[in-house]
Amino acid sequence: MTGQPSSAVLVLTFCIAEALLMAGFALVPSLLPQLSQRWSLSATAGGWLGGIFFLGYILAVPVLVSLTDRIDARRIYLAGATVSALALAGFASFADGLASGLCWWWLAGLGLAGTYMPGLKALTDRLPVAVQARGTAFYTATFGVGAGLSYLWIGLLQERLPWPGLFAIAAVCAALSMLLVWCGIAPGKPLAAMPVGHSHWRSVLGDRRILAFCGGYFGHNWELFGFRAWLVAYLTWTHARTPDSWTAMPGLIAALATFLAVPASILGNEGAQRWGRARWLQTVMPLSGVLAIVVGFSGGQSSRLLLPLLLVYAASMNLDSAALTAGLLTETSPEKRGTALALYSSIGFAGACIGPIAFGVALDAFGRSLQAGWTAAFLTLACGVGFGRWAIGRIGAAPPPTHVS
């Protein structure tokens, strides 16, 4: 290819590629009840299996995303998608217990580190400044689309195919994502040679506004991915207590809850632009924290109460997603954006790693089969988003940025 497509086609291409790459995202959360039984896992071990994905992510993302300040982010995306495909194929072929499952799922998280934020960087590098915020909103919302589709297709097929076959399908989707970006996105313009020194890192780490957004993203991801990792297991538990035709389809409910991330994320970014980013975030984050506590006390209730409550909660926790990411991008000058995104992803997905583990530890401590266990587990989600709200509150104490975007 000799030129870049239009802005709309660029956004669409990257969003489709991201959705394909995300096909395997819900494999472990959806199959956790089955894998826990097959491999005799405690809730804490199940939490580690869910969280290890994000540990792979946070170990790789500082290097991979900061590299996008020096080389075309498209190249990193292609490498990350290839790693994802290999990791999913490896899980399908060789995972036979907790240790091997942890290794392959960790590698899959490393693949995500090479695609999610590098994909955002590759997209924004190719978009005019005027449309970068909305392009970012659609791209980050597509994370929810991909995750929702992942829950949906796995829920539909897991009774028909053995679990290794599901991992194999996801591996093919990751390979298709790589091919789409390879064929559909032209290489970017050569970037100016830049030293690998620490000047950008010092500048980013010294910016309290950037750190506030990073802390907010940490809390957001603690809550979001703790919830997603255990949602199918929670619905399975509630169905065992009070059988119902709706809770008999946990994959469908999890998909619907995850799909709500898309309109909620886009609405959240629009709300932040209209009413002010800090004010918006300081309002919606406590809302999801309160709902986490309410959901925690509602296990075993009628589906007429529980399912609407779960869906409202799922939407509320995504009202801050695109607003946080777009806020970080507007706070950062273009030449330091890759480094800032690396820090943002590392800190944010550390929360995604901790969330499922903390949830599982609480379940083991208070009883996986008891209401008290699930109540305590949901309280850990409220703690996560509470920290995020505290971090965002520090924006007002920090000086505004001085760069010109």
* Structure confidence at residue 399 as a pLDDT band (50, 70, 90): low
How high is the pLDDT of residue 405?
Answer: 39
The band of 114, judged by pLDDT with boundaries at 50, 70 and 90, is: very high
| Tens-place pLDDT, residues 148-160 | 899 999 999 998 9
Q: Who wins on pLDDT, 95 or 68?
A: 95
Contact (Cβ atoms closer than 8 angstroms) between residue 268 and residue 318:
yes
Task: Measure Cα distances from 313 to 107, 224, 284, 288, 290 in Å.
Answer: 31, 10, 11, 6, 9
Average pLDDT rounded to a whole number, residues 93-112: 96
Phi, psi (degrees; rounded to nearest 5) at 335: -70, -15
In the three-class reduction of DSSP (H, G, I as helix; E, B as strand; rest coil), residue 401 is classed as coil
237-284, pLDDT tens digit by residue? 988 888 888 778 888 999 999 888 888 888 888 888 888 888 889 999
The CA distances from residue 104 to 40, 53, 97, 211, 222, in Å, are: 18, 9, 11, 31, 22
Domain boundaries, the chain: 7-184+199-397
Count of CA atoms in the C-beta half-sphere (13 A) of 45? 15
Q: Give 198's pLDDT tier (boundaries 50, 70, 90).
A: low
What is the percent of the chain with per-residue pLDDT over 70, rounded to a whole number? 94
79-111 burial: b if 16+ Cβ within 10 Å, else e: bbbbbbbbbbbbbbeebeebeebbbbbbbbbbb
Q: What is the pLDDT of residue 246?
A: 76
**365-378 pLDDT, tens digit each:** 999 889 999 999 99
Q: 286 falls in which pLDDT band (50, 70, 90)? A: very high
The gap from C-alpha 251 to its chain's centroid, in whole angstroms, comes to 18
Least Cα distance to 31 among 262, 254, 225 occurs for: 254
Output the pLDDT for position 199: 65
Instruction: Read off the tokens for 65.
Output: 């995303």
The Cα 132–Cα 118 span in angstroms is 15
Mean pLDDT of the chain: 88
pTM metric for this prediction: 0.83
Pick the CATH number of 7-184+199-397 from 3.40.1110.10, 1.20.1250.20, 1.10.1740.10, 3.40.50.10140: 1.20.1250.20
Greater confidence (68 vs 199) lies with 68
Report pLDDT for 87: 98
Give the whole-number percent of the chain exceeding pLDDT 90. Answer: 55
Q: How many residues does the chain have?
A: 405
pLDDT at 297 over 70: yes
Strands (E), 226-340: none
